[in-house]
Amino acid sequence: MNKYKMVEIEDISKSDFNGTVYDFEVEVDHSYTVNDIIVHNSVCRTRSRTGVGKPQFSAIREVCKALEANDFDHIKTIADGGIVDVGDISKALIYADAVMVGAVLAGTSETPGSVYPVAGTNLINRQWYKVYGGSASAENKSLNAGKKPEFVEGEMKIVPFKGKAKYLLREIADGVASTFSYSGSKTMDEYKRKVQYKIMSESGTKESKL
């Protein structure tokens, strides 16, 4: 595992995307194409609001299989959503080349927004929080569109203030490195070749404390 160094963000800007969007059909009729596949993250409410969506592992697996079947397996894929613990990252990396960890890093010092004290805590047991919002939340839609949205698929939520992101990133790096050791892998390519997974029963899930 490579070690990473945290640096301050120097600039944030928007730019147009001029790349190619690939449109591959995945293996079952009720799935979605690569260019409009919908997954589900911690502040997304698309599934409950529209009934449309797919579990993250299944989504990234089908996308990767579609890419491979069409000789585009050199294209890198990113898992977006569903990350709660380090083990989720290890599972996603079976197919994905990278993961998005928005909710994991939400509330850290490096994220935008102010830090507020939790009501009812005093100077001895003081707790703090920040506000984390999805791009489809009413607040962000209003900010970006300049008008009140009529339909929203995301929400704003309060998350505990977590301090520096580097501590979470270290935990993630150590956890993924341990996963690699259990599978006898030293590289991502080797990990993807060697790792095996099975569907776990409800009893097995409880026993594993998942």
The pLDDT value given to residue 139: 47
- How many structural domains are present in the chain? 1
Q: Where are the beta strands (DSSP E) in 154-204?
A: 156-160
Per residue in 128-184, pLDDT (tens digit) is 999 886 554 444 444 555 556 555 455 678 889 999 999 999 999 999 999 999 999
Terminal-to-terminal C-alpha distance of the chain: 25
pLDDT greater than 70 at residue 27: no
Q: In this structure, is residue 126 part of a structural domain?
A: yes
Q: Which domain holds residue 71?
A: 46-182
Catalytic residue among 34, 43, 44, 176: 44
Rounded Cα distance, 3 and 209, in Å: 30
Q: In this structure, is residue 177 part of a structural domain?
A: yes
- The residues facing 101 across adjacent strands are none
Q: Where are the beta strands (DSSP E) in 78-166?
A: 78-80, 98-100, 116-117, 128-133, 156-160
Q: In this structure, is residue 24 part of a structural domain?
A: no
The pLDDT value given to residue 154: 56
- Containing 193, the helix (H) or strand (E) segment is helix 188-194
Q: In this structure, is residue 94 part of a structural domain?
A: yes
Tokens, residue 91: 């599972």
Tokens, residue 180: 């690699």
The pLDDT value given to residue 180: 94
Average pLDDT over residues 38-52: 59
Per residue in 67-124, pLDDT (tens digit) is 888 888 888 888 887 888 999 999 999 999 999 998 899 999 998 888 999 999 999 9
In the chain, % helix, strand, coil (3-state, to 5) comes to 35, 10, 55
Read off the CATH number of the domain in which 127 is found: 3.20.20.70
The pLDDT value given to residue 196: 86
Residues ≥6 apart with Cβ < 8 Å to 133: 43, 139, 140, 154, 155, 156, 157
Q: In this structure, is residue 172 part of a structural domain?
A: yes
Q: In this structure, is residue 95 part of a structural domain?
A: yes
Whole-prediction pTM: 0.68
pLDDT greater than 90 at residue 127: yes
The pLDDT value given to residue 137: 47
Active site residue 44: yes
Residues 83/104, Cβ–Cβ less than 8 Å? yes
Alpha helix positions (H), 98-137: 102-105
Nearest to 84 by CA among 188, 3, 159: 159
Q: In this structure, is residue 98 part of a structural domain?
A: yes
Q: In this structure, is residue 145 part of a structural domain?
A: yes
